[in-house]
Structures are given as structure tokens and as C-alpha cells.
Amino acid sequence: MTDGPRPARLFNRRGWLCGVALGLTGLALPASARPQPSRSLAFKHLHTGETLSVKYFRNGRYDPQALAAIDHLLRDFRTGEVYPIAPALLDQLCVVHRLIGSDAPFEIISAYRSPVTNAKLHRNSSGVASGSLHMQGKAIDVRLADTRTRQLRDVALELGAGGVGYYASSNFVHLDIGRRRHW
């Protein structure tokens, strides 16, 4: 299911820069010679009230303590189960945040879901996939307080780094690092 035609290319230069930031360009430089900027994210979990602002990547490496803090915040809030969130998903969020130019933390609607939680949600809603990437730590449902969800969707679509779901009536956008698709 789609949300109509794909939006026009919003920012050719930004799209190119984004590809560089995600390492999607075929630069011939060895990995050690590539610039490794630090990467930070801020979150506000709407169900638990918890917040986190963290630098999760620095000096060319993911910070294990920061990743553990993110995993805890993005746990299945219904069961308390913690699962590793894919660093590529965090990188996708970081790039989207930079492209938008937002000052707000990501407001979390849903991140990791245990198989039990996902099965229950799937039984009660046709909008929840039985094999959801949420169960693999590869999907997240978010919004930004200072950005219209339509703009968040458009930037994520332009990035083209995975799946993008737009839920206008519920005021959030689903992002994942699966195959490129949108609904």
C-alpha cells in the first residue's frame, strides 16, 4: 500500500551527503582513512516517560555502554524485555534527524517488540505484521515534536534506507532497515 506518488526529490545535495554519512557511496578510501564523525541521538519514550540523550558512536566505534542504554530505553515496554537495537537503525535515525534539522528528541511510540507482544498486537490490528522487524530490533515508530510527520516521512523516503510507514491519523512514522518500501 502506498501513500500516493513518491515525493519529488527534496534535496539532491542532502541526499548525496546522507549516502556518504551512511557509507552507501563506493569511496575508494580504506576504512581507516574515512572520517568517522561522532553520532548522537536523543529519545523520549512516550509510554514510559523515560528520556535519553547519548553519543552512541565516537572515535570510529560504536560505544557499547551507549548501545546498552539505548537497548534498555527501546525495550518492549509491555514486557520489559530488552533486545539489541541494530546500529544501522540508529544511524538511519541520526541521518534523518540531521537532514530535518530538528532540535527535538525522537518521541518513541514503539521500538523493540517481543514475539509475544507482537503476536498480541497482530491479532488486534491489521496494521501489525506477524513477522515485524520490531521483533529483530530493526524497526521503530517515531515522531518529532518540532516536525510534521509528513515531513519526517518525506525525508525518510528520500533517504531510501529501508521501509517507511506513514500513520497520519496516529501521528507517527515507522522506520526500518528492511527492504526499501513504503505504505
Domain around 96? 12-23+37-182
Give the separation between CA 11 and CA 31, rounded to whole angstroms: 27
Report the DSSP pairing between strands 106-110 and 39-45: parallel
Total domain count for the chain? 1
User: What CATH number is associated with residue 46?
Assistant: 3.30.1380.10
Give me the residues of the chain with pLDDT under 50, please. Answer: 1-21, 23-35
Give a yes or no: residue 2 inside a domain. Answer: no
pTM: 0.79
Give a yes or no: residue 32 inside a domain. Answer: no
DSSP letters along 69-95, please? HHHHHTS-TTT----PPPHHHHHHHHH
pLDDT, tens only, 143-179: 999 999 999 999 999 999 899 999 999 999 999 999 9
Q: Name the one residue in this structure whose C-alpha cell is 500513520.
A: 167
Give a yes or no: residue 7 inside a domain. Answer: no
pLDDT, tens only, 100-116: 999 999 999 999 999 99
**What's the pLDDT at 118?**
86
User: 83 and 137 in contact (C-beta within 8 Å)?
Assistant: yes
CA distances from 101 to 6, 24, 79, 96, 155 (A): 22, 21, 34, 9, 11
